[in-house]
């Protein structure tokens, strides 16, 4: 019977090649299914002004940063095609469960955001829209510092979700149609 002459490192090499092929097939299946990271949707305007945010609003800061990739964020309504008017930007925290002796065991974190979109002349492009997210979080006094960090992370995740929802709403706005409608209603000489 003939003996096979295998190289000493060949079985390990075959496993690495097979593992690499499996990883490539996995990536190819993600591409084939249409997987893509969330991106800012294309906006139907090029200049926007944000009004009504508090000076150091974390949500306002993130929205500005995300808008900057699709549109120019300007300082005054006179420079803008559209005006996003914030009516409410609030973080709330409430106790959901406590022990018989009054120790907090579970909190509910809420992020409320309300806005509408108008032209600089005041014509409404998007009606008042209220977004509300809430998340429950367990709590123990012994881990107060870790729970404060967890709370900040939960708020940041909710904030990112709200910003993404606002961007999708803004992508639906149609300032050109509003301008055409206003022109068609203007009195003719």
| pLDDT at position 126 over 70 | yes
Which residues are bridge partners to 129 per DSSP?
Answer: 115
DSSP 8-state symbol, 79? G
d(CA 14, CA 67): 48
Determine the pLDDT at residue 15: 80
Domain ranges across the chain = 47-173
| pLDDT at position 90 over 90 | yes
Strands 104-118 and 82-98: antiparallel
- Kindly state the average pLDDT of the residues 171-179: 76
Determine the pLDDT at residue 20: 79
pTM for the full predicted model? 0.72
- Kindly state the average pLDDT of the residues 65-77: 93
CA dihedral of residues 87, 50, 150, 131 (deg, nearest 10): 40
| pLDDT at position 45 over 80 | yes
| pLDDT at position 31 over 90 | no
Strands 104-118 and 72-74: unpaired
Quote the mean pLDDT of the chain. 85
Confidence band for 14, pLDDT divided at 50, 70 and 90 = confident
Determine the pLDDT at residue 13: 78
Determine the pLDDT at residue 100: 92
Q: For the domain made up of 47-173, give the CATH fold.
A: Double Stranded RNA Binding Domain (3.30.160)
155 close to 91: Cβ distance less than 8 angstroms: yes
- Kindly state the average pLDDT of the residues 127-151: 94
| pLDDT at position 73 over 70 | yes
Query: Where would I find the beta strands (DSSP E) of the chain?
Result: 47-51, 72-74, 82-98, 104-118, 124-138
Confidence band for 23, pLDDT divided at 50, 70 and 90 = confident
Determine the pLDDT at residue 10: 67
First-to-last CA distance in the chain? 105
């Amino acid at each position: 019977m003939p003996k096979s002459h295998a190289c000493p490192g060949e079985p390990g090499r075959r496993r690495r090649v097979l593992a690499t092929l499996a990883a490539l097939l996995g990536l190819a299946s993600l591409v084939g299914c249409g997987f893509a990271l969330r991106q800012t949707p294309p906006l139907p305007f090029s200049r926007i002004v944000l009004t009504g945010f508090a000076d150091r609003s974390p949500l306002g800061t993130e929205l500005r940063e995300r808008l900057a990739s699709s549109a120019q964020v300007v300082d005054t309504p006179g420079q803008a095609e559209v005006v996003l008017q914030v009516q409410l930007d609030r973080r709330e925290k409430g106790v959901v469960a406590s022990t018989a002796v009054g120790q907090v065991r579970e909190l509910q974190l809420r992020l409320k955001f309300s806005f509408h979109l108008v032209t600089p002349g005041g014509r409404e492009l998007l009606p008042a829209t209220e977004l509300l997210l809430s998340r429950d979080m367990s709590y123990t006094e012994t881990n107060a510092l870790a729970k404060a960090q967890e709370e900040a992370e939960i708020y940041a995740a909710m904030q990112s979700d709200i910003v993404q929802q606002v961007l999708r709403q803004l992508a639906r706005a149609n300032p050109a149609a509003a301008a055409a409608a206003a022109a068609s209603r203007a009195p003719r000489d």
